[in-house]
Amino acid sequence: MCDEKSLENLEKVVEGAVKELEEMKDSSELEQWRIKYFGRKGIFASITSSIPRLSSELRPAAGTKINSAKKQLTRMFEEKLNILQKKKSPEVDVNFTIPGIVPERASLHPITLVSREIVAIFQKLGFGIHTGPEIETDFYNFEALNMPEDHPARDMWDTFYLDEKKRFLLRTHTSPVQVRVMQKISPPLRIIAIGKTFRRDAFDASHSPVFHQVEGLMVDTGITFSNLKAVLVFFLKELFGSGVRVRFLPSYFPFTEPSAEISISCVICDGKGCQTCGNAGWLEILGAGMVHPEVFRKSGVECKNITGFAFGAGIERIAMLKYGIDDIRQFYLNDMRFLRQFG
């Protein structure tokens, strides 16, 4: 079989083997190829075994030719094997020495900035900072806040429920923190809580399904509406400047009695009337009131002569007025051009 002609054929064998190798798609095909050419009964075994039958002058050259063909094909085989294995497990491609991509950085988010400012103001007044869970139960979000099942006031908050039985929900306000704090700490107490709240609202210029609130609560013997007024006027003047005027109007919340809605003179037009305040000259900024006796009862506060006030406000709304932002969606778009302005 191995004569001069078959040595010429060697080139064709190599050519064929290279072509086949190029078309291999997985390692099992590759293994078939290896057996075909380099197996015990493979093509190269048969070529090599016929060397002795060559004339003695031809043998050395034939040996060299066969060896170099084998070497070439073995190298190509290994390369192909490498490629196919890498394809199978892409993690082989990871180069741990490449320096990381530096993330784009802006500055603290306006919601963080305003939250920190609010915390600092209330810390001056000796308020403690608390948090509560974002996933709440019906009890804390509604029931303990004087809204038993089927209470119409529940409609004030479009709620994301988490289960069929409506036992768990995403808190619609930070007011449940009042109850959690009163269960743990007995009066006197003064706290604020800042955190995310959720409502099944549209996502438009003035609504977002997720936003932030600050909640306040002060409970002691002899707390009156005057204390509420003093604390909130101080807070709003610190936040918006001493020139701001504060207005209290009667309102309704199930968890406070009496309840109030608090507005400030428009920070854009100073009360003259503009687009931001809808020509009213006033911007509604807080809900507040005296803690309802039922809320005390549900929270396990049963001492006599204990009264308290509570309030709640939206952080996004405050931030929009402070920084002149006209679309709440800006806070959640992660647009670096927007975020860099708050450095």
The residues that touch ligand DAH, with contacts defined as CB under 6 A, are 173, 175, 215, 253, 256, 287-289, 310-312
Residue 325 φ/ψ, nearest 5 degrees:
-95, 130
Helix (H, G, I), strand (E, B) or coil at 289: strand
Residue 180 φ/ψ, nearest 5 degrees:
-60, -40
* Cβ nearer to ligand DAH, comparing 33 with 311: 311
DSSP secondary structure letters along 65-116: HHHHHHHHHHHHHHHHHHHHHHHH-GGGG--TTSPPPPPP---S-HHHHHHH
* Cα–Cα distance, 125 to 223 (Å, whole number): 15
Task: Compute the least distance from the CB of residue 270 to ligand DAH, in Å.
Answer: 26
Helix (H, G, I), strand (E, B) or coil at 26: coil
Helix (H, G, I), strand (E, B) or coil at 285: strand
Task: Compute the least distance from the CB of residue 289 to ligand DAH, in Å.
Answer: 5
Residue 30 φ/ψ, nearest 5 degrees:
-65, -40
* Cβ nearer to ligand DAH, comparing 33 with 255: 255
Helix (H) or strand (E) holding 171: none
Task: Compute the least distance from the CB of residue 159 to ligand DAH, in Å.
Answer: 12
Task: Compute the least distance from the CB of residue 181 to ligand DAH, in Å.
Answer: 12
* Cβ nearer to ligand DAH, comparing 127 with 311: 311
* Cβ nearer to ligand DAH, comparing 111 with 288: 288
Task: Compute the least distance from the CB of residue 266 to ligand DAH, in Å.
Answer: 21
Task: Compute the least distance from the CB of residue 91 to ligand DAH, in Å.
Answer: 48
Q: Chain-centre distance of CA 316, in angstroms? A: 17
**Contact by Cβ (8 Å): 7, 65:** yes
* Cβ nearer to ligand DAH, comparing 271 with 289: 289
* Cβ nearer to ligand DAH, comparing 63 with 258: 258
Helix (H) or strand (E) holding 318: helix 315-323
